[in-house]
Amino acid sequence: MSTPRECHSAVLSIGVAAPTLRLPVAQVAAGWGRAGGRGQVAVCGPSEDALTLAWLAARRAITAAGIPPEEIGGVWWGCTRPPFAEGPNLSFLSAALRLHPQSEAALLSGSPHAGIDALLAAADAVISGRVSTALVVASDSLLPALGSGLEAASGAGAVAVLLAAEGPASLGQVTTEWSPVLDRYRGDLETETREVYDGRLFREQVFLPLCQTVGSSLSADPSTRWSLPDPDGRLGRTLGERLGSIKVVSSAARSELGDTGAAAPLLGLAAALGEPGNLIALGFGGGRATALSIQVTSPVPGSSVVQQHLSGGREVTYTEALRCRGQLVASGETVEMAVPPGSAMFVRGSHEMLALLGARCLACATVNTPPNVHPTCIGCGAIEFEIIPLPLHGTVQTFVVNQTMPAPFVAPLPLLVLDLEDGSRISCQGASDGSDLYIGVPVELQLRRYALERGVPIYGYAALVATASDKTIERPST
């Protein structure tokens, strides 16, 4: 078939997110007694996962567009492997993004093709007129099988775009092709993704044929910039050669983060949205490939800081990466949270924790946090409140770095008291090692995983020293 269909919608803004850790591939090779290994992959820190990355990318896209979150029609999230195999992935993400309580949501999952699936599903919602603004998020944090070739390739990252009928970049032709074959695989009882095919069999009979078919079906000229899938660090270049002398722009994100799975197609061209011209994003996974053309007429808001948001990160050893991925676990018991995830406290308090809500006293304006344990104002004793979202920026009033805690806590753990921009105060964890903290330093709050408690992820907000890009992009003057 391979006849393109039209996908008339537009990109309003873009945001990306990278995890905080970088693992040199040579470290993985050395861990298994092998020489060599080029490049690096991104790894989630202990407080990061596919949901926290999705939140950060989405928040950046929303802020870059300058649209109030409650006006967004819904969120379409593509993620190979969301944090809850079954569970409240979408309601947690919607709550943390402060979307309207009746907003739409859909989770596309099961393979790295899920990011493209989310984009197309969201575009359909816009085209049909059902929503005027749709949030697309694609994120992944892959867990490669130990000792497999995937360890040298599997990265993590997230990308988000806001779609509407009109915008600085238009979605154009789309072609999809499928073939009933395996590529990467993880069964229902397996925790790690593994490869099933011989490398050459996969390349010649699975990957290249599908990708070439969809890629060559779209009209392109020599100036067209391409985002190509690159599951192993070499296939992308081979695909580019097979498609002719094309201009590939996705290698920058690929070499920074590794294979970001569902996020890869859009992440690969995120920076290119800053320059007018034609783009093609090609997504692959689960026996499917899709190519999508995008025409940029003017720089997409958020695109100018893409490179900044993807670069950096702290280099870690293979051992630390394994620990952060949960593949290296200390023996012995860990200290359980006093409040089990199944307790009523989480039913009462989950929304206010995820959306970072406070209770502002109607009498004296003191903000009481968290609301559900404050029936009476700590400022004046009044009992009537307005529930408000707390600002995600503030400065450090005081802090410590806790070095002494039982497992599952990992030191160093900064703990801070923050003065938020609206004058309210909260205590929270810090997301760095604490060495960059001082009294008065401006910080931003990010959604982080506070615990994996009895197997259930618990999310809250952690502070990071604010960067220049976050000040300009996250806080537009309008």
> Which residues would be at the binding site for other proteins (CB under 8 A)?
335-339, 345-346, 349, 353, 369-370, 373, 378, 397-407, 409, 413, 415, 417-418, 425-429, 434, 439, 450-451, 453, 458, 460-461
Please report which helix (H) or strand (E) contains residue 442, including its range. Answer: strand 442-453
Distance in Å, CB of 285 to other proteins, minimum: 35
Nearer to other proteins, 269 or 357 (CB): 357
Our CB check for other proteins shows the closer of 365 and 415 to be 415
> Given the complex with other proteins, which of 183 and 453 has the nearer CB atom?
453
Decide whether 306 or 426 has the Cβ nearer to other proteins. 426
Question: With the CA atoms of 79, 295, 475 and 122 taken in that order, what torsion angle do they form, in degrees rounded to the nearest 10?
Answer: -40
How crowded is residue 210: how many other Cβ atoms within 10 Å of its Cβ? 24
CB of 346 to other proteins, least distance (A): 8
Min dist CB 349 to other proteins, Å, is 8
Closest approach, Cβ 334 to other proteins, in A, equals 9
In this structure, the strands spanning 21-24 and 314-315 are parallel
CB nearer other proteins, residue 329 or residue 339: 339
- Pair of tokens at residue 384: 């009537």
At its nearest, how many Å lie between other proteins and the CB of residue 97?
18
Residue with Cβ nearer other proteins (131 or 428): 428
Least distance CB 426 / other proteins (angstroms): 5
Which residue blocks in 181-326 are alpha helix, DSSP H? 199-201, 208-217, 235-242, 251-257, 264-269, 306-310, 318-324
Distance CA 78, CA 147 (A): 27
Q: Rounded distance, CA 472 to CA 478, Å?
A: 11
Report in angstroms how near the CB of residue 400 gets to other proteins at its nearest. 4
Minimum distance of other proteins from residue 364's CB (angstroms)? 14
Tell me phi and psi for residue 8, to 5 degrees: -80, 90
CB of 100 to other proteins, least distance (A): 24
Crossing angle, helix 344-354 and helix 89-96, to 10 degrees? 50
CA 358 to mean position of chain CA atoms:
26
C-alpha to C-alpha distance for 225 and 15, rounded to whole angstroms:
19
Looking at residue 206, what DSSP letter applies?
I
* Amino acid code (one letter) for 335: V
Cβ burial, residue 411 (10 Å; 0-12/13-18/19+):
exposed
Nearer to other proteins, 226 or 399 (CB): 399
User: Does residue 349 sit in helix, strand or coil?
Assistant: helix
* 23 Cβ neighbours under 8 A, 6+ residues apart: 40, 41, 42, 43, 315, 316, 318, 321
Contact 107, 280 (CB under 8 A): no
CB closer to other proteins out of 247 and 323: 323
Q: Are 135 and 160 in contact (CB under 8 A)?
A: yes
Cα–Cα distance for residue pair 220/161, rounded to 1 Å: 23
The residue among 319 and 398 lying less far from other proteins, judged by its C-beta, is: 398
